[in-house]
Amino acid sequence: MLRKNLGLFITLGVVLILFGYGCNGYNGLVTADQEIKKVWGNVETQYQRRTDLYSSVIKTIEGSANFEKTTLKDVLQARASATQVKVDINDPASLEKYQKVQGQLQSSFGRLMAVAEAYPDLKTTKAFQDFQTDIGGTENRIAIARKDYNEAVQAYNLKVKVFPKNVIANLFGFKEKGYYQAAAGSEKAPDIKFDIK
């Protein structure tokens, strides 16, 4: 009788341990998934901050007489595209598309800022000077937010891929998530030329 009950207690103990491990593993995956969503929200917040800053300086530039309108139009189109892309962090293709339109916005705005250098009246306005200070800080915040996002994705992906939690991940449909990648060509040093004579 004792032997029969001992086998039952051992079996019940093993089942409870496996159940506890399974619950712990599932809860860990859910927690890591929620952390990624929170950190991605921080990335989007910083991009929104940059878009808002761009909007402010565009208004300042539009008020400047005779400013080059085609460059301004390119920035306005890039900004409209950047604000229309919705990201599903579970879909690497949508993340890549988001990165691409954000890169286009940054590039077109860089061209706008280069053109703005030729307008001394514009460069001396307080709004324009404040913008130049704010955008530097915002770009740093964006870089930190992207780094934090990639760290959260790495922690999550390790849980999804490493045995034995990968069994629980597959059982409940947790999939690997994509990293925020550097823009194509950013690994090459820029070609800077000075035409000093």
CATH number at residue 130: 1.20.1440.20
pLDDT at 173 (0 to 100): 92
pLDDT at 86 (0 to 100): 83
Q: What is the pTM of this model?
A: 0.70
The whole domain housing 159 covers: 33-172
Look at residue 2 and tell me if it is in a domain: no
pLDDT at 67 (0 to 100): 61
Look at residue 149 and tell me if it is in a domain: yes
In terms of Cα–Cα distance, which of 62, 89, 81 is closest to 152? 89
Look at residue 56 and tell me if it is in a domain: yes
Q: Are 83 and 55 in contact, with CB atoms under 8 Å apart? A: no
Look at residue 93 and tell me if it is in a domain: yes
pLDDT at 90 (0 to 100): 83
pLDDT at 33 (0 to 100): 92
pLDDT at 38 (0 to 100): 93
In terms of Cα–Cα distance, which of 173, 181, 172, 176 is closest to 162? 176
Look at residue 111 and tell me if it is in a domain: yes
pLDDT at 197 (0 to 100): 40
Look at residue 5 and tell me if it is in a domain: no
Look at residue 178 and tell me if it is in a domain: no
CA distance 31 to 29: 5
Look at residue 152 and tell me if it is in a domain: yes
The whole-number mean pLDDT for each consecutive block of 10 residues of the chain, a chain of 197 residues, reads: 71 77 85 92 89 80 64 76 81 84 83 72 69 84 93 94 90 90 59 42
pLDDT at 55 (0 to 100): 81
Count the domains in the chain: 1
Beta carbons within 10 angstroms of residue 194's beta carbon? 5
